[in-house]
Amino acid sequence: MNLLDRLKDSILVADGAMGTLLYSYGKDTCYEEFNLSHSDDIYNIHQAYIQAGAQVIQTNTYGANYYKLSQYGLEEQVKAINIEAVRIAKQAANKGTYILGSMGGYRGFRKADITLAEIKRSFREQLFHLLHEGIDGILLETYYDAEELFAVVEIAKDEANVPVIAQFSLLEPEVLQNGSFVKDGLQRLEELGADIVGLNCRLGPHHMIQSFEQIPLPNRSFLSAYPNASLLDYEDGRYVFTKNAEYFRSCSVRLVEQGVRLIGGCCGTTPEHIKAIAEGVRGLQPVTEKQVKPVRPTVEVLASRIDKEPPLHQIVKERTSIIVELDTPKHLQTESFFTGANRLKEAGIDALTMADNSLASPRISNTAMATILKEQHGIRPLVHITCRDRNLIGLQSHLMGLDALGINQVLAVTGDPSKIGDFPGATSVYDLSSMNLISMMKQFNEGISYSGKTLGRKTSFSVAAAFNPNVRNLDRAVSRLEKKVQSGADYFITQPLFNEKQMEEVYESTKHMKVPIYIGIMPLTSYRNASFLHHEVPGITLTEQILRVMERVQDDPIQATRESIAISKSLVDTALKYFKGIYLITPFTRYDLTVDCVNYVHAKEKLVHGTNVI
């Protein structure tokens, strides 16, 4: 009798975690490779689960795909690892044991790291090898991203002639990562043809049962549940799960009451947990009716706060706009910073932008300085946010804090690695890339947290993204821009450009795009400064002509300033032919140079306006 026929009248017990039992080998080990190098260990784990009462086991192939194996240099072993995994499972199985080919989700926090096309290609390769070896079903497990799971279910149903089990993982009970209700996600999986739909990983039994209370019985599919053992704890330098196998006995009964027919375990579960499940469900019959709890009333998502000024991306579409970068101090003497900020305000800038510990060197928090500028000086701040210094938790907290402060103009950047800064031994986090951060801010603008939970109110972030045209292949850089637009970027700010011809090339390469661009211009302070920027700072390239001019006046500071301003004005002239946005980067604390440039932009605009009027 096949798996689906058994589930029509029975509760089936599945196995538990594989990685938990192999954890002693090291957390950074490729457990799928153990099919080749430690086959006896994999066999013994299968046997232990079967002896504990598992009627359904899964192959040790959760991450046995090209994409994940490539992280260990094993991408050429996809076929061998999957073939051996099925062979071991068959060797361990009893006559009535069902074998599922395990295929784990690809996307984690960094959704932009792998495209849907790449997922499909890698998925098909692994699927082919599992099906070729003869399995009783496909287990699609630990999928956080709904788009990804929907896509692979369609492939599996099209190419496989065995049952397909599709399981979401939830960051928060009851809702998917995109903010939709899990009951709707499971209904969509059923519509796509999934034979068994359910949940696994991340949640322990309590929260998983809570989620199932709001899930109606499917019309055609069956329900499955593979909860984690518990929440993780940290003990003596190791991550551990609560030893609570007996607790799973009563939990399995409650899952059956919610309509679940296939029950196993995920992270932290062991043969003891599976034995408890088997004992708990023994003699129970599947339910055919259940009382579904109403979905909790959604907290009304309030509209975002209305800002007095339009966002920068809107301003720059309508008129010439100037933003100026002024780095916050590396020390606690702030007088000069605020003096410069007020001089720039008087000159007529639209916003003062501050980097987030640029070049991985600590400075006064740009959020703190932005708050003071906004509240005490009436200056609009544009804060940079890097992915280097904060993990996913910290970034979300930071964004909520910015919104609470009324700071909604932001620039998302990945950030320079810590090793280039003042503390090369410091850790770079990079839970997210700049594209992931942009997407998360746009999700916040819909009133939804990263985990899918309501924020109670929409944010109003106007999101800038960085653009470095100082590369050999401009088309590739523009392609990256287009991906950032897809992630939700509202406008772009470039690295400083020192070449008029390059500005024209940037315009020609980006004119098809609808989002505005602020062209970066950075006044020079000396020949030494020019040489350092050209030779040592990533992403900045000066022309030979500019280097020669600054070299000629290197012994005359006054003349060097004049030449610097002349170079900047010439660059402004060219930039304004093609773009409405000017981004002035203040060198060191020389705000006098950027004030001169701001005044020049305004004078030029008045002249142009006067000509148009005549």
- Binding site for Zn(2+): which residues? 201, 266-267
Q: 201-219 burial, b for 16+ CB within 10 Å, e for fewer?
A: bbbbbebbbebbbbbeebe
- H or E segment at 158? helix 146-159
Q: What is the DSSP letter of 333?
A: -
Comparing C-alpha atoms, which of 270, 229, 264 is closest to residue 11?
Answer: 264
Q: Binding site residues, as ranges? A: 201, 266-267
Q: Please, which residues bridge with residue 581 across strands?
A: 321, 518
Are 78 and 65 spatial neighbours (Cβ–Cβ below 8 Å)?
Answer: yes
- DSSP code of residue 270: -
Can you say how many angstroms the Cα of residue 64 is from the centroid of all Cα atoms in its chain? Answer: 23
**222-226 and 137-143 beta bridge pairing:** unpaired
Is-contact 365 418, C-beta < 8 A? no
CA nearest neighbour of 517 among 544, 477, 545, 546: 477
Residue 323, judged by CB atoms within 10 A of its CB (0-12, 13-18, 19+), counts as: buried
List the one residue out of 230, 224, 343, 362 whose CA is nearest residue 589: 343
User: For residues 596 and 593, what is the distance between their CA atoms, to the nearest angstrom?
Assistant: 5
Q: Is there a contact between 232 and 256 (Cβ–Cβ < 8 Å)?
A: no
Q: What are the φ/ψ torsions at residue 199 (nearest 5 degrees)?
A: -130, 150
What 3-state DSSP class applies to 232? Answer: strand
Shortest CA distance to 269 belongs to which of 76, 34, 464, 23?
23
DSSP 404-449: HTT--EEEEE----GGGSS-TTSPP--SS-HHHHHHHHHHHTTTB-
Is the Cβ–Cβ distance between 517 and 510 less than 8 Å? yes
Rounded Cα distance between 405 and 478, Å, is 34
Spatial distance between the Cα atoms of 360 and 421, rounded to a whole number of angstroms: 4
Candidates 453, 5, 7, 17; CA nearest to 265 is 17
**Residue type present at position 164:** V
DSSP 268: T
- The pair of structure tokens assigned to 486 is 């897809």
Structure tokens at 407: 């700071």
CA distance 258 to 256: 5
Structure tokens at 487: 């992630």
- Rounded-to-integer distance, Cα 113 and Cα 111, Å: 6
